[in-house]
Chain A
Amino acid sequence: MSDIADRVKKIVVEHLGVEESKITESASFIDDLGADSLDTVELVMAFEEEFGIEIPDDAAETIQTFGDAVKFITEAS
């Protein structure tokens, strides 16, 4: 697994308090990992800080799963 994926996973574990094994490529933050809509905003904020990138609101809306997040961050950073 890539370095980015590891760092994203760590943030998700910390913020949502879920077991690492549940975080699969297609795991949806809201449907599978128990996030509410405000949690997803906080995750995006955390990603922005960890990776030093800007994630605009319209892009943030497309980040639904762990895989989406890794893909977006990989392309952006």
Chain B
Amino acid sequence: MFDLTDKRALVTGASGGIGAEIARGLHAAGAVVGLSGTRTEPLEALAAELGERAHVLPCNLSDAEAVTALPKVAIEAMGGVDILVNNAGITRDNLFMRMSDDEWASVIEVNLTAAMRLSRGVLRGMMKARWGRIINISSVVGATGNPGQGNYAAAKAGLVGMSKSLAYEVASRGITVNAVAPGFIATAMTDKLTDDQKAAILTNVPAGRMGDPSEISAAVLYLASPEAAYTTGTVLHVNGGLAMI
């Protein structure tokens, strides 16, 4: 099932663990994929691994002009964008009382504002095609909060509110907008945690293990599929039961 032949997907943060796996999943289902990220090297490596139907589209999401240009670059490279996966995210953790304006603003800019700009940029083509999928990668902490991540949690919760508002506006045009909220997934980002921290987290995960990026990719693949046409404005939590919401 889930055939994405002839669909063109733009994935941000495709150089990261989850983003790369999302791109692999969409590509395996037949989609043409545009791999975006800041670091070109891992993107080139992923494109080489995927072979045909993969385009490397580097973009620094903290650069507003580059973000605005990315949809145009992607449309030029692939002929259009049918599926947008706003996956890119950064963390600048700090206790709230010590958080600088810059730590706050940079996380909001990359994790939330870039998703808005990219969504705005691809909507025109989707409206004309009467088909589109926008999938925003949120996080469990957007729903639960997390100490030290006031900025990150705010951006991730913001993505949910943005998704739902946009979902209302474009549902009648065959465009769905959804969010996926991963829990603790084994990636470079969570590798930074100490073993003690990991063990403490896992005591709260009923599944008793960290998630695999492929389990996020599977959720994205479903939401990107034609079969998910009636699923919009929702948040798909993939967290091993960490937060049942």
Interface positions of A (Cβ within 8 A of B): 38, 41-42, 45
- When C-beta atoms are compared, the residue in chain A nearest to B128 turns out to be A45
Return 9 A-B CB contacts under 8 Å, by A number.
Answer: A38-B169, A38-B170, A38-B172, A38-B173, A41-B127, A42-B127, A45-B124, A45-B127, A45-B128
For A38, the chain B residues whose CB sits under 8 A away are 169-170, 172-173
How many chain-B residues does the 8 Å CB contact rule pick out?
Answer: 7
Closest to B124 in A: A45
Residues of B within 8 A of A45 (CB): 124, 127-128
Main SS class of interface, B: helix
Q: Which residues of A contact B128 (CB under 8 A)?
A: 45
Q: Which residues of A contact B169 (CB under 8 A)?
A: 38
> B90: shortest Cβ distance to chain A, in Å?
30
Contacts of B170 in A (CB 8 A): 38
A52 to chain B, nearest CB (A): 16
A41 to B169, CA, bound (A): 12
Residue numbers in A under 8 Å from B173 (CB-CB): 38
Rounded to whole angstroms, the CA-CA distance of A38 and B173 in the bound complex is 10
Distance, CA A42 to CA B172, complexed state (A):
13
Q: Please, how many angstroms separate the alpha-carbon atoms of A41 and B172 in the complex? A: 14
Residues of B near A41 (CB, < 8 A) are: 127
Residue of chain A at shortest CB distance from B172: A38
A12 and B180 alpha carbons, distance in the complex (Å) = 38
Q: How far is the CA of A45 from the CA of B172 in the complex (A)?
A: 17
Query: Closest residue to A37 on the B side, CB-wise?
Result: B169
Q: Which B residues between 163 and 188 are near A, CB-CB below 8 angstroms?
A: 169-170, 172-173
CB distance from B128 to the nearest CB of A (A): 7
